[in-house]
Amino acid sequence: MTVLNSAAPAHVSPLKVTPASPLFLREDEIRRGIELLYFGYTAMIRGADAILEAQGLGRAHHRALYFVARRPGLSVGELIGLLGITKQSLGRVLNDLSGRALVEQKVGTSDRRQRLLFLTPSGAALEARLFTELERSMARAYGEAGQQAVTGFWAVLMGLVPPDGRAQVEALQGQG
């Protein structure tokens, strides 16, 4: 076992991780990574899911709120591209969010056909609550793993993004 970030705060036990085999491309190693993604994501999103459920919303609503918060004034077309969903699917989500006064749509300034998305104060408050739930889990995991491990994790996640989508992901890093 490898211990990462031995300089973690005193109240946090050092993170113990079985190192990847030199044969890290074998099926067993790949399955371990997939399982860790599943378990980690499930644990991270649990608190946000409870908040969403209480509001009668789901993860698609959460993703829309998240990206509109990251890029106020995002067009509907840009959000479709970020989420990788159909216009019809996004339409249902936006109708729910607009109907609950969480998102508002404004006409574009240079193109009147364009619909630009903004969070309302209620939408911003809900998104902040959801983000706080995710932030708590991510900050704890980042702190336990340490900077080098986080950089490696980001490299693996970016490797999962298809090459033609990476510029879009990188563009978000300048936001917020």
158/15 Cα distance (integer angstroms)? 23
| Percent with pLDDT over 70 in the chain | 90
Instruction: Please say whether the beta carbons of 29 and 21 come within 8 A.
Output: yes
CA quadruple 133, 135, 33, 168: dihedral positive or negative?
Answer: positive
Instruction: Please say whether the beta carbons of 5 and 146 come within 8 A.
Output: yes
- Domain 40-138: CATH architecture, name and number where available: Orthogonal Bundle (1.10)
The domains of the chain are located at: 40-138
Residue-level pLDDT at 175: 61
Q: How far is CA 171 from CA 7, 61, 115, 149, 174, in A?
A: 32, 22, 21, 22, 6
Instruction: Please say whether the beta carbons of 68 and 106 come within 8 A.
Output: no
176/67 Cα distance (integer angstroms)? 10
pLDDT tens digits, 27-50: 999 999 999 999 999 999 999 999
Confidence of residue 24 (pLDDT cuts 50, 70, 90): confident
Kind and range of the H or E run holding 87 = helix 87-99
Distance of CA 176 to the CA centre of its chain: 13
pLDDT tens digits, 58-117: 999 999 999 999 999 999 999 998 998 999 999 999 999 999 999 999 987 877 778 999
Q: For the whole model, what pTM was predicted?
A: 0.84
**Which amino acid is located at 41 in the chain?**
Y
| Percent with pLDDT over 90 in the chain | 69
User: Angle, to 10 degrees, between the axis of helix 121-145 and the axis of helix 59-70?
Assistant: 90
